[in-house]
Structure 1
Amino acid sequence: MASNETFPQIAYPIRVILPIVYTIITVIVLIGNTLNFYSLCISTDRFGRKSIHVLIWNLITEGTIWTLIFYIVKMVSYADLGEHFALNNGKWLNDLWCKSEMYILRIMDFVLAYTIVFLCLDRCVKRKKCCYGQRRFVSGICISISIWLAICYALIPILFFNQQLKSLNYGSYECIYNETQINQLTWLDLQQIQTPYRILYLVDFIFGNALPIFLMISLL
C-alpha cells in the first residue's frame, strides 16, 4: 500500500480523478457500441447477411465486455485497495479475483486481435477467385464461435498460476503472476538464456500482439 506520507498527496487525488475519467470513457464506449449495434442488427436498411457484419458485431460484443470488466476492476481497485474487499486474509481477492480478471481480459484482448485479422482476411476474399460462400453470414458465425472457443481453451493455463496483488504508490493495485511459482517450471527454463517467467510473457506477446499485427499487415 502507499505510505502514510505519499497517500494524502498522490493517492487520494488520483483515486478521485481517474474513476471519473474511466466513467466518462466507459459511457462514450457504450454509446458508440450501442449505435454500431443498432446500425448492424436493428436498422434493416444497413444490415446485410455477410460474414463481415458478424465479425464487426463480434468486435462490438468484445469491446463492450472488455470495457465493463475493466471498469469494474478499476472501480474496485481505487475504492477498496484490497483493504476491505479481501476475504480470508486476502487470499480470495489475490487469487480468485486476479485469476478471473486476467483470464477474462486476456480473452478479450486475443478476441479483438484475431477478429481484426479475420476482418482483414475477409476483405481479401475475391468473388472471382474464391467461393462466395466463404463470406456468407453463417461463415461469419462459425468464425466468431471458433475464435471464442479456441482462445478460451488456449488461455486456460492462466487459471493454474497463482496470482497476487501488487500495490501501486497512487493507491491502486494490479494483478501479477507469482514469479516464484512460474520459475519452478523447468520445462520453460532456457538454461539461463531466459527465465520461465520471461518466457511466459514472451509467448503472450508473440501470439497476442506480434503474430496478429504481422497477419494484419500481410493481409492489407
Structure 2
Amino acid sequence: MASDDDTSEISFELPTPPQRGGRGRGGRGRGGRGRRGGRDEEDRIISLQTQRRVQTEELIEKMSELQLRKLAGQLFARQPGLVFDALSSINDSVRPPSESLPVGWCRCGNCREMATDAERKCCGQRPALCISQTPHFSLYCLEDGYLRLHRQYRDDVLVFDEAREPGEDNREYRYAAYRQFIFWQHGALGRGNRRSIPSCCIWRIRDKYPDPHGQYTGFLPHL
C-alpha cells in the first residue's frame, strides 16, 4: 500500500514539467526559453482553464433543474467521494480552516506543522512564488480529469479494482496527485526511490481531497 505522502527531499528551481530524457534539443532546452517562455506557458494554462470553466458554466446554464438533479444523482453513483464535497458546501464547518499555521521552517508561508522531521519541508520559495499556488501545480496535481486518467491507467496496468468507498476514492486521488507531483519534479524515480513532498503542496492536495476522519499516513521513507 502506498503511504499518504508517497515521496522525499527535493530542491526546487522553477515550477515547470521535467524534460524527457533522450529528446534533447541542445540550446533550445528549458533554460534557453527565458522568462518570457515561462510566462507565455503560464498564460496559456490560465487561458485553457478559463475556457474550460466558461464552457462548463454555459452547459450548466442550458440544463433544466430536473436535468441537473438527474446528472447529480449519476455523478454521486459513479464517484461516491462527491458526497464530501456536497457536505462541505452545505456545512462550512465540516472542514477545518485552510489557513496555514505559522511554522519556523517554512519560507513560503503556506506550510503547516508536520508529524516528522522528514515531512517538515518547504518548497523554499518566497510567498509570491510558492509552488503550491502556481497554475502549473493546479493543472498537474489538482485537475480531477488528469488524476482520474492517471488512476485509470495505473489500475489497468496493475489490475487494481476501482475504489468503492467515499474515503477510498479521495485517498486514491491524493496518491495520484502525489505521484503526479513527483513525476513532474523528478521524472520516473524507479522502485524503492522515494521523495518527500513539501508541506505546502501536501496540504493543498489534502484540502482538495480530504480524509473524512482527518487521518493521514504521512511519509514513509522505507516500505
Tell me the TM-score normalized by structure 1.
0.29
Greater helix share, structure number: 1
Q: Which has the larger radius of gyration?
A: 1
Tell me the TM-score normalized by structure 2.
0.29
Greater strand share, structure number: 1
